[in-house]
Structure formats: C-alpha cells, structure tokens
C-alpha cells in the first residue's frame, strides 16, 4: 500500500512538473519549430526576412545551436518590425498559460514589443506590449504577462485565447540613428505569478481651472470610475496642486480628474497625446509597468501648466491639384496616424486652405507629411523627392524641428518653395459651374452659374495634377464646350480662376 501511495505521489509530482513546463513554439532547431519573419518599413536594412544563424554566444541560459537574427534598420518607420511568414506551425496557446516568453541577446539597451495576431475574434483580439531588455551582452529571459490588457487596439488581455502569429518590434515608436541588432530564441508559453498592484502617483495642477475648488479626486478603470474612491490632497493651501497615490495593476489605464465631486470633463481635445477616445468619452491614459510617478499635468492639458505649445498647420493647393473631396490629413512620422485617422484638416470657410491645431509639449518634434485623400496606404501623400524640405532618409517626409513657442505655418501641398500658395489657391466653396455629360466620351460642356466677366482659361488636369489641356474663354461666356476625345479614359479635373479663387470639379472620361 505504501509503495502504491509512493508511486501515485511520484506520478502526481511528474504531472505537476509537466504542466509547469514551457510550451515551445519556436526554438529554430527543427522544421516544426522554425519559421522566418518578414520585415516591414525597415529602412536601410536590405534583407527582406530574418535569418536563422548559429548561436553567437553559447553560454549562460542559452547553449542551443540555432537562433533567430533580427535587425532593425535606420530610416524606416518607428513601427518597423517583422511578422512570422509563414506563421509558426505550433499555435500560441494561452488558454492555460499566462506568460509569453522568449530569450533575447542584445548588443545595446532597448525594448522589445511582441504582438499576437490571429486570435479567435480576429483584429479585436490583437495583443501587444513592450518591455525593456533587462541586460546586454548576454542571453536573458523576457516574459510578457498576457493577463494584462494589450497596449493598443481594443486593449484586451490575451489570456484564455489561442493565437496564430507573432510580430516582433525593436525599440517600438522610437526613431533610430543606428541599426539595432538582436538575437531571439525559445519563443514559448508558460506560467508566471499573477500581476500585483503597484503604487502610482497622480498629480494635478488645477491652475487652469476657472472656479472655486472644494475637492479633487481621480477616477478610472482601476477604481470602477468611482469619484469618491481616490480623493486627492492639496499639497499646500491655495496651491491648486493636488496629488494622490493609488495601487494599480500594471497595464494601460484610463482615468479622469474630478473636481468638486461632479466636474468630470476637462475639455481635452481628441487630438491630444495623453487621451484615448473611448466611444466618444475623452479619457486620459497611462501605461503602468511598475511603481510610477506620473508627470504633473494642468487641468485640460496633457502637460504641466505653461509647458505646452499650440501648433497651427495650414496647407494650400495649386489649381492643377485641388483638395480631394474625401478630405485632407496631416499624417506619418512617429506622432501622427495614417491618412484617414483622427488628424483630419478642416476648411470651415471654404477658401481652400486646410488647417489643424494641435497642443503638444514644449520641444515637440516629428516627421510628418500631408495626404490629399483618405489613403491609409499613403498612396495619396505628397511627393517631395529631392526637394529641400523632404527628408530622403524618411520617405521624403517633412521634418518639424523642436517647437518652443506657439507656432503657425503655411505650406503648399507637394512643394517646398518658400512662396506662399495661400493667395493663389483659394477655392470657391461652390465650383461655380456644372459639367455635362459626366461621364463624357468626346465632348463635355461647362455651364457657369453666371456670365464670366473677364478673359481666362479652363484647365483640364489629370488626377495627379498634370495639365493636359487649356481652353480659353472671353467675357460674356456662360458655357464652354471642351473636346475630350483625345484624352485617355480616367478621372480628370476642370478648373478656372474667378476673382483670385479657383473653382474646380472632377469629371470622368470614358
């Protein structure tokens, strides 16, 4: 009986040990546990994919033969990375394991972000987090706690789900001036201790609030949005500087400062850096990985009072390249989204000059570009190749140098010349004419709302702005016939100038 009991205990111990073992996904030693990763937006690094190489440092925790060699190039996008192509043969099963693991060898300090794709709900389940590399010049273990919410997208935990693919990022959202060389090995799932709350200190400078203050507090995802749960204390009487320290689980948190128990809305802009737009609710956000002292922030600002600048950006268009009816965006770089995102420029007075104003911290600098249309793939961005204001090391984007005071500037789409195009590119809110038939085959007629009062030209341009035809008109004209028989089928614009403003319409040649 004792022998049977002893054998049962041995079996149970073995099963516990087996359950505690990591589940290897990729160790680059066999075809089943190997794959390559395809780079994207990776700057000057010429190789299209990662490579499997001999372990350059068979010591410490990793004496295996083969490892993955990963390089982040210079001049690529700050989100440059590499995705499994093909995806790993073994699924990334996190239904019972609460950690995603790998070994890393780094030459210099930096960070690694892993992203999981192909979850049960598709993109809604995508999960990503960035953590620092703990040491350099040696193999180190890195672990991602998948019970924590992701730091992008829907911000949902990955625990309890099965994923298909891994994406690797080095120094995510940081610009590179030199290549980053990393080695990876032993991607796996495993067990780890549950995350523990860490102290987070919030500081509010309420000098920007116009009114009396009887109380201040912070409410958010960490305390059930309870305005009474985390009261703040004024640092000194009359200072309007309030602080509180709250125990918070690591992850991305959303929160608001609350004044007088019922004033929740600060007036933050959807374009501010520190916010998340959660179904129309503008909340502050912060990423917590350990004990954190958040920077003091001014009421209705992402920065401390007096430490921010307003940046007003304006762009005009030439007559041959009118603004798209789908909209105009400032985009690109590390600080703006792809065209079609929240940084849409507006032309409220219909004069053809599109504007946007953003509030940023003093010293804000970034690459950026303009897009004439809603093109998330950047196919409609301006082309500044070999022009002075384009940076050939960053897709010929513009570069905004550090801004130290409130600033306003106006540029021309696709043009680096110093001459302002504002005066010559004001557009009529209503084009002032109709086109028929549209689409046309051989002849179109432009009929104007009023008789024209001066000599001028109708300019026909291709969709990229190239002028293909000019037709003169004289005073007293109300309609102009234009022969389009020789034009290649496609989309064109017809435009004219009236009292310094441009009227333009699109038409289709069949």
- pLDDT at site 18: 35
Contact between 471 and 508 (Cβ < 8 Å): no
Query: Is 10's pLDDT higher than 50?
Result: no
3-class secondary-structure state, position 8: helix
47-62 mean pLDDT: 97
Specify the CATH superfamily of domain 308-412.
Immunoglobulins (2.60.40.10)
Average pLDDT over residues 68-93: 95
What does the mean pLDDT of the chain come to?
A: 88
Q: For position 21, what pLDDT does the model report? A: 83
CATH of domain 428-509: 2.60.40.3080
State the sign of the Cα–Cα–Cα–Cα dihedral 482, 485, 486, 492: positive
- The whole-number pLDDT of residue 356 equals 95
**Same fold for the domain at 17-190 and the one at 308-412?**
no
Q: Give the position of tokens 């009261």.
A: 231
pLDDT tens digits for range 259-299? 999 999 999 999 999 998 877 889 998 878 789 999 999 99
Residue of 5 and 165 predicted with greater confidence = 165
The residue ranking higher by pLDDT, 234 or 75, is: 234
Mean pLDDT of the region 78-88: 95
Distance of CA 242 to the CA centre of its chain: 32
Higher pLDDT, 242 or 502: 242
- Pick 129 or 16 by higher pLDDT: 129
What does the pLDDT read at residue 7?
43
Over the range 282-313, which residues count as b (16 or more CB within 10 Å of their CB) and which as e?
A: bbbbbebeeebebebbbbbbbbbbebbbebeb
**pTM score:** 0.58
CATH of domain 17-190: 2.60.120.260
Asked whether residue 4 carries a pLDDT value surpassing 50, the answer given is no
End-to-end CA distance of the chain: 92
Alpha-carbon distance of 398 to 401, in angstroms, equals 10
Contacts of 215 (CB under 8 A, 6+ apart): 231, 259, 260, 261
Instruction: Give the tens place of pLDDT for each residue, 107-152.
Output: 999 999 999 999 998 888 899 999 999 999 999 999 999 988 888 7
pLDDT at 287: 77
Domain boundaries, the chain: 17-190, 198-298, 308-412, 428-509
Q: Give the pLDDT confidence of 294-320 residue by residue, as tens digits.
A: 999 999 999 999 999 999 998 988 766
- 8 Å CB contact between 302 and 308: yes
Whole-number pLDDT of residue 25: 98
- Tell me: pLDDT of 241 over 90: yes
Of 250, 57, 248, 87, residue with least CA distance to 168: 87
Per DSSP, 87 falls in state P
Highest-confidence segment of 57-66, 315-324, 413-422: 57-66
Q: What percent of the chain has pLDDT over 70?
A: 91
| Strand positions, DSSP E, 62-221 | 66-72, 81-84, 92-93, 99-106, 111-117, 127-132, 139-145, 162-163, 165-170, 180-190, 198-205, 216-220
Contacts of 412 (CB under 8 A, 6+ apart): 315, 316, 317, 318, 419, 420, 421, 425
Render pLDDT for 391-411 as a digit per residue (tens, 0 to 9).
Answer: 998 999 999 999 998 888 888
CATH topology of domain 198-298: Immunoglobulin-like (2.60.40)
Convert the pLDDT of each residue in 416-466 to its tens digit: 875 556 544 444 445 678 899 989 999 999 998 887 777 787 888 875 566
Instruction: Express as a percent the part of the chain with pLDDT over 90.
Output: 60
Which pairs count as long-range contacts for 323-326, CB under 8 Å and 24+ apart, including other chains?
A: 323/347, 323/352, 323/354, 323/372, 323/413, 323/427, 324/372, 324/373, 324/374, 324/380, 325/506, 326/373, 326/374
pLDDT at 330 over 90: yes
The pLDDT of residue 78 is above 90? no
- Rounded average pLDDT over 150-156: 79
pLDDT of residue 428: 46
């Amino acid at each position: 009986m004792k022998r049977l009991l002893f054998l049962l205990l041995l079996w149970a111990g073995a099963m516990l040990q087996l359950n505690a073992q990591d589940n290897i996904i990729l160790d680059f030693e066999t075809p089943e546990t190997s794959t390559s990763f395809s780079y994207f937006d990776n700057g000057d690094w010429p190789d299209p994919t990662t490579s499997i190489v001999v372990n350059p440092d068979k010591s410490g925790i990793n004496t295996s033969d083969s490892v993955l060699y990963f390089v982040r190039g210079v001049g690529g996008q700050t989100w440059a990375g590499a995705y499994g192509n093909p995806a790993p043969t073994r699924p990334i099963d996190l239904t019972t394991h609460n950690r995603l693991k790998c070994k890393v060898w780094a030459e210099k300090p930096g960070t690694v972000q892993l992203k999981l794709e192909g979850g049960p709900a598709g993109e809604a389940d995508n999960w990503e987090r960035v953590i620092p590399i703990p040491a350099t010049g040696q193999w180190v273990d890195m672990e991602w706690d998948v019970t924590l919410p992701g730091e992008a997208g829907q911000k949902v935990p990955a625990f309890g789900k099965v994923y298909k693919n891994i994406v690797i990022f080095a120094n995510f959202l940081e610009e590179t001036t030199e290549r980053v060389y990393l080695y990876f090995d032993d991607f796996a799932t495993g067990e780890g201790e549950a995350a523990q709350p860490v102290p987070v200190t919030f500081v509010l400078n309420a000098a920007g609030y116009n009114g009396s203050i009887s109380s201040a507090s912070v409410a958010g995802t960490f305390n059930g949005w309870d305005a009474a749960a985390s009261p703040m204390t004024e640092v000194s009487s009359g200072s309007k500087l309030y602080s509180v320290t709250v125990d918070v689980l690591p992850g991305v948190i959303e929160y608001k400062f609350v004044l007088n128990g019922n004033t929740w809305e600060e007036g933050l802009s959807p374009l501010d850096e520190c916010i998340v737009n959660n179904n129309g609710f503008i909340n502050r956000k912060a990423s917590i990985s350990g004990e954190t002292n958040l920077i003091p922030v001014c009421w209705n600002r992402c920065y401390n009072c007096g430490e921010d600048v307003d940046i007003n950006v304006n762009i005009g268009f030439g007559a041959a390249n009118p603004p798209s009816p789908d909209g105009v965006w400032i985009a690109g770089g590390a600080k703006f989204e792809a065209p079609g995102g929240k940084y849409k420029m507006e032309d409220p007075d219909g004069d053809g000059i599109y504007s946007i104003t953003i509030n940023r911290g003093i010293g804000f600098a970034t690459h950026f570009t303009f897009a004439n249309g809603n093109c998330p793939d950047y196919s409609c961005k301006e082309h500044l190749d070999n022009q002075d204001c384009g940076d050939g090391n960053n897709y010929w984007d513009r570069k905004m140098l550090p801004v130290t005071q409130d600033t306003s500037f106006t540029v021309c789409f696709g043009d680096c010349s110093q001459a302002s195009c504002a005066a010559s590119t004001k557009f009529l809110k209503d084009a002032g004419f109709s086109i028929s038939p549209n689409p046309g085959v051989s002849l179109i007629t432009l009929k104007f709302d009023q008789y024209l009062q001066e000599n001028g030209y109708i300019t026909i341009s291709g969709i990229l702005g190239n002028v293909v035809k000019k037709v003169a008109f004289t005073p007293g004209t109300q309609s102009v016939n234009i022969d389009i028989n020789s034009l290649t089928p496609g989309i064109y614009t017809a435009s004219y100038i009236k009292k310094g403003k441009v009227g333009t319409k699109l038409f289709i040649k069949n």
